Amino acid sequence: MLDFNSETLAKKEAAESFTEVATAIIDAAMEADNQAAKPRDYLGGSRLGEECARMLQYEYTGTPKSRNFPGKILRVFERGHSGEELMIHRLRLAGFEIVTEKQGGGQLGFATARCSQTGRYRIRGHYDGVITKAPEALGLKVPCLWEMKVLNEKSWKALVKHGVRKEKPVYYAQMQVYMAYAELTDAPALFTTENANTGELYFEQVPFDAATAQECSDRGVQIIQATEAGETLPRTYPDEDFFKCKFCDYRARCWELD
């Protein structure tokens, strides 16, 4: 009698081995592509709400990161980007009108803090979209800024419970900066987030906060001025074992070299 259990086990092991090899090949390609990507030469408007000014300084100068993301994490990042495209399709299907590109092509956004010598804009931001029409049942004031994030279940539930301002202050600040530069301050921004585990959606209207927008703008100027003066800004956190430092891409550089 044939041993079908052994045959099934062998097929399973072969499939797992094939999957491991295929995944490793894809991850290696993604990691190489990510490491070869040209670093930004500007300070991202979406990042101005970050607590640690030194981190932003590293980002602005294109400082090499202390770690490189593995392919698994890069795939998670990609899922966030694809989630935006899917949500745009869903909104349009539901009767929303949303603008995501300039008339001549290219993503919506802003550029400011132009260097007189190089002509380079030192602060830039890109918007997910601007809603110009929405279903009447929502009573949504338009035009309004639209921002979309895909979060894991833990982060999504915490955001739903506490709201974007308390739970995700960087996202909150991002929208304030974008509303200011896009001149969309009369209507609250529409923040949308999807639970990556369950597909549940959460929508929150975020009113314009002039004080936060100004604070973030001033912060960007401070970081640029300090960097161009050769000044390394002080650390925000007490030691390298602080939980936020543990997840920082520049941890080794910050604590060992600077």
**Per-residue pLDDT tens digits for 111-140:** 999 998 888 999 999 999 999 999 999 999
Closest CA to 151 of 84, 207, 242: 84
Whole-structure pTM value:
0.86
Q: Which amino acid is at 189?
A: A
pLDDT score recorded for residue 8:
63
The pLDDT of 168-179, averaged and rounded, is: 97
The CATH code belonging to domain 41-257 is: 3.90.320.10
Confidence of residue 22 (pLDDT cuts 50, 70, 90): confident
Residue 178: what are its φ and ψ, rounded to 5°? Answer: -65, -45
Place of tokens 């795939």: 75
CB neighbours (10 Å) of residue 32?
12
pLDDT score recorded for residue 1:
47
b/e map 63-97, b = 16+ CB within 10 Å: bebbeebebeebeeeeeeeebbeebbeebeeeebe
Domain segments of the chain as ranges: 1-37, 41-257
Q: Is the pLDDT of residue 191 over 90?
A: yes
78 vs 229, residue with greater confidence: 229
How far apart are alpha carbons 182 and 135 in whole angstroms?
23
Q: Are 110 and 181 in contact (CB under 8 A)?
A: yes
Ranges 34-48, 131-145, 158-172: which has the least confidence: 34-48
Q: Which amino acid is at 122?
A: R
**Chain-centre distance for alpha carbon 159:** 15
pLDDT score recorded for residue 144:
98
188 vs 104, residue with greater confidence: 188
Mean pLDDT of the chain: 89
Q: Is the pLDDT of residue 257 over 70?
A: no
Place of tokens 């260097």: 115
Ranges 58-67, 135-144, 159-168: which has the least confidence: 58-67
How far apart are alpha carbons 150 and 128 in whole angstroms?
13
* Length reported for the chain: 258
